[in-house]
Amino acid sequence: MRLLITGITGRVGANVAHSFLQSGHDVRGFVWPGDRQTGKMRAVGAEIVEGDLASSADVNAAAEGREVILHLGAAFQAGGPFTPEQYMDTNVKGTFNVLQAALALGDQLKHVIVTSTDATMFKYPPTGIDEPIAEDTLPLVSTDWYSYSKILCEHLVNRYCRHENLRATVIRFANVWGAGEILKFPSFHLASFVHQFKSRTDDAGRATYERLQREDDGEPRLIVARDATGRPWKKHNIEVRDIVHAYEKAIGNPDTFGKVYQIGSRAPFMWDELIPYMSQKMGIPFSVIDLAMTPNYYEFDLCAARTDFGYDPQLSVFDMVDEAIRYGEQGRGGIIPTTV
C-alpha cells in the first residue's frame, strides 16, 4: 500500500510508520518545515514531505498518489502551548484539508483514518463512572480547545462519510503511554499530589495536603490513590504498540467506514492492584491515601473495535512495568527497542 501519515515524527506516528515500512509498504510522512525528527524517519525508509496542515495546497501535494491516509498530525496539549487559533487552524482546518484531499483521490483511496481522543468525552464526574464507556455512552461536551477541536474533527468526518460516502473512520485513543513511560506517570507518585494540593485553601483540600505531607519524607514514594469514600481509582490507558496493532487491523476494512472506535489496553487497571506491583518491582514504598478531588474511575467498552476489525490488544499494565524495569536495568532508560 501507498500510505500518507501526517504527524509521522510523533511517538505514535513514528511507530505506526515503522511497522508498515517493515511490512514492505510505501510510506510518505507529512511534517512541519524544520521538524528535527525528520532525519530519523528518513533513516528508516520513509519519504518526507514538508508542509502546513492548514494549507490545502500542501496537503493535496502530500496526498497525491496515496491509497491510505492516516491522519495523526495535530496541535495537542503536550506539544504546546497553542493558541485557540492554532488549534482551529491545525486541527480543524487541517482535518478538513485532509478529508478534501482524500475525497479528491476518488476510487484510488482505500481508507482515511482520523485520530481522535477520549478527551472529547466527559469521563470525570465527581463519583466516577461505574459502567464501561462505549463510543456513544457519553456526550461530546469538552470545552478546552484541544478536545473541542477534536470534537469538530469527528463531526467533519461524519459529514464526509454521510454526504460524500468517503471511506473514513475515526479512532479515539485512550491515555497513551510510550514504551517505558508507565513508571513516570505523575498520578502514581506521591510528589505529584503534594504539589497539586499545596495551593488548596478549602478544608478538605488542606486536610488532604496535611495527610500527604505526613507521608512525604523527600524520597520517592508511590501512592494508591482513592476517592473520598476509600474506593481505589480505576483508569484505562493504551500503549503505543497496541495502537499500531489497531491500525494494522482496521486499514481497508469496510466494516469500519463511517464509524468511531474507542481503543484501549487489554483491560483497565486499579491503583490498589498496580501500585503494590510497581512498588515491589521498583523497590519504592507506597502509601494509601483518600484524595479530596475528582477521581479517575472509568473503563472503556472495546466491543465495537473487537467485533468490527478484530482489535486484540496484548499488553497489560503489568507487562509494561516489567518491560520498563528490565530495560531500565540495562541502562536504556526504559525505552524498548522494538519501537522507534
Averaged pLDDT, 30-38: 93
Q: Give yes or no for a cis peptide into 295 (omega within 30° of 0).
A: no
Contact 181, 328 (CB under 8 A): no
Q: Which of 73, 74, 70, 61 is nearest to 101 (CA)?
A: 61
Question: Which residues have a Cβ under 8 Å from the Cβ of 197 and sit 6 or more positions away?
Answer: 205, 208, 209, 212, 293
Q: What are the pLDDT digits (tens) for 46-91?
A: 999 999 999 999 999 999 999 999 999 999 877 778 999 999 999 9
Q: What are the pLDDT digits (tens) for 232-264?
A: 999 999 999 999 999 999 999 999 999 999 999
Contact 179, 151 (CB under 8 A): no
pTM as predicted: 0.93
What SS3 class is residue 259?
Answer: coil
Main-chain phi, psi angles of 43, to 5 degrees: -65, -25
* DSSP secondary structure, 204-244, as one string: HHHHHHHHHHHH--SS--EEEEE-TTSPBPEE-EEEHHHHH
Q: What are the pLDDT digits (tens) for 105-130?
A: 999 999 999 999 999 999 999 999 99
Helix axes 271-282, 317-329, angle to 10 degrees: 20
Contact 95, 156 (CB under 8 A): yes
Q: Are strands 26-31 and 2-6 parallel, antiparallel or unpaired?
A: parallel
Residue 149: pLDDT over 50: yes
Contact 173, 120 (CB under 8 A): no
Cell of 148: 473541542
Residue 330: pLDDT over 80: no
To the nearest whole number, what is the mean pLDDT of the chain? 94
**pLDDT for 328:** 76
What is the DSSP-derived secondary structure letter of residue 133? B
Identify the residue whose cell numbers are 490498589: 272
Cell of 75: 496541535
Q: Which of 131, 68, 53 is nearest to 257 (CA)?
A: 68
Contact 108, 87 (CB under 8 A): no
Question: Which residues have a Cβ under 8 Å from the Cβ of 217 and sit 6 or more positions away?
Answer: none
- Cα separation, 72 vs 154, in Å, equals 13
Residue 6: pLDDT over 70: yes
Averaged pLDDT, 131-150: 95
- Cα separation, 59 vs 104, in Å, equals 11
Cell of 158: 461524519
